[in-house]
Amino acid sequence: MQPSLHYRIPWAALMFLAAACVPWLGSRFYTFLATDIAILALFAVSLNLLLGYTGLVSFGHAAYFGIGAYTCAILMKTYGVPFALALIAGIANAAAWALLFGTFCVRSIKIYFSMLTLAFAQIVWAVCFKWNSVTGGEQGFSNIPYPSMDWMDALPLLDGLRSGDKFYLIVLVLTGVAFVLLQRVVGSPFGRVLTAIRENPERAEFVGINVRRYQLAAFVMAGAFAGFAGALFGIFNRGVFPDFAYWAKSAEVLIMVILGGMGHFWGPAVGAAVLIVLNQQITAYTQYWPFILGSILIVLLFLFPGGIIGTLSAGIARVRGRRDA
């Protein structure tokens, strides 16, 4: 067998190109779906930096999604800050809170880490829910403006696209950049150290790695990218609500990661896409989506703990093994 002949198909680049064509399908619905998927895929991949790569089970990742969303939305609507600055502020604010909360969280281990992340996330939720004068409280913070996208008309091909389509292209480029950055992080020596910590924290400590500091760095990074996703989602959704930071949202993104498979970089993105499409299809027929989601989750936990990607790659490996034998 000559592995060098197995050239790798650049799936990610192909997917990006395919996704870039969506606005020209001419359907508002497809653009809507694709935007939703792109943003939540980033959210899920950011969580996987903790879950899959560092071995930290955060049950409060929605907090940073919510902080990013509120920060960006409030700056853009209340203070008229341009999108680019508001987005950066949203990411920075999410990272800052992740640094503060993470400092305490990484001192706990296992289930206690999960509980502490959940506790902090619920505080964020409670503040968003109650701080009427700034966040709009229970009613949420709506009518967030789109960023100015007139400059896009000057570009070839983009002239005359609907604003939803234009915003989708912005989201696609930004999330694309975020994915490249995240992939570099996990492939870097830093990412390798995180994996070492996941596999065996004691041994990592033994060889001189400051485990808590690395965990904290991962936590802040994951928080920053969650804030990135949140900021985009708030604008896409045209409104930010306390639910963004609620524990059900944290659970939802965990399910996306598990569904796609946390053992692979793109697993969570696949999970996000599948879950969103399923949700769209199923809620058209029944109001009992939670029941179906719970059932999917149970089947997954018991029968396919590796998720979609894990199950597929195990299957492919088995087929290849049979062929080579």
Partner 1 sequence: MSLSFLLAQSVSGLTAAMFLFIVASGLSLIFGVLRVLNFAHGSFYMLGAYAAWQIAQWIGTFTGSFWLAVIGSAIAVALLGGVIERLLLRHLYGREDLYQLLFTYALVLILGDVARVLWGTQQLTVSRPSGLSGSFEIFGTVIPYYNLFIIALGPALAIACWLLLSRTGTGRMIRAAAYDREMLAALGADVGKLYTLMFMAGSFLAGLGGALVTPVRSIVPGMDVDIIVEAFIVVVIGGLGSFWGTFLGALIFGQVLAFGILILPGFSIFAVFALMALVLVVRPSGLLGRPVKG
Give residues in contact with partner 1 (CB under 8 A): 51, 57, 59, 104, 107-112, 114-116, 118-120, 122-123, 126-127, 129-130, 202, 247-248, 251, 254-255, 258, 288, 290-291, 293-295, 297-298, 301-302, 305
Q: Is 142 left (phi over 0), alpha (psi -120 to 50) or beta?
A: beta
Nearest Cα to Cα of residue 173 among 83, 48, 308: 83
Residue 45's identity, in one-letter code, is V
Closer to partner 1 at the Cβ: 47 or 171? 47
CB nearer to partner 1: give 190 or 247. Answer: 247
Nearest approach, Cβ of residue 177 and partner 1 (Å):
29
Tokens coding 144: 């967030």
Amino acid letter for position 175: T
To partner 1, the closest distance from the beta carbon of 244 in angstroms equals 17
3-state secondary structure of 168: helix
Compare residues 88 and 115 and give the one whose CB is closer to partner 1.
115
Q: How many residues are present in the chain?
A: 325
Three-state SS at 155: coil
- Which DSSP symbol is given to 180? H
Instruction: Compute the least distance from the CB of residue 151 to partner 1, in Å.
Output: 42
Q: Cβ closer to partner 1: 122 or 215?
A: 122
* Smaller CB separation from partner 1, 59 or 228: 59
The smaller minimum CB distance to partner 1, of residues 24 and 288, is found at 288
Instruction: Please say whether the beta carbons of 254 and 47 come within 8 A.
Output: yes
**In terms of CB distance, is 258 or 269 closer to partner 1?**
258
Non-local CB neighbours of 222 within 8 Å, separated by 6+ positions: 46, 47, 49, 50, 58, 61, 64, 98
Integer angstrom CA distances of residue 224 from 88, 181, 244: 10, 12, 15
DSSP string over 96-149? HHHHHHHHHHTTS-HHHHHHHHHHHHHHHHHHHHH-HHHH-GGG-EE-PPPPP-
Q: Give the separation between CA 149 and CA 168, rounded to whole angstroms.
A: 11
| CA–CA–CA angle 85, 78, 91 (5° rounding) | 35
Shortest distance, position 75 Cβ to partner 1, whole Å: 23
* Least distance CB 69 / partner 1 (angstroms): 19
CB nearer to partner 1: pick between 133 and 143: 133
What is the DSSP-derived secondary structure letter of residue 9? Answer: P
Shortest Å distance, C-beta 55 to partner 1: 9
Question: 32 vs 304, which CB is nearer to partner 1?
Answer: 304
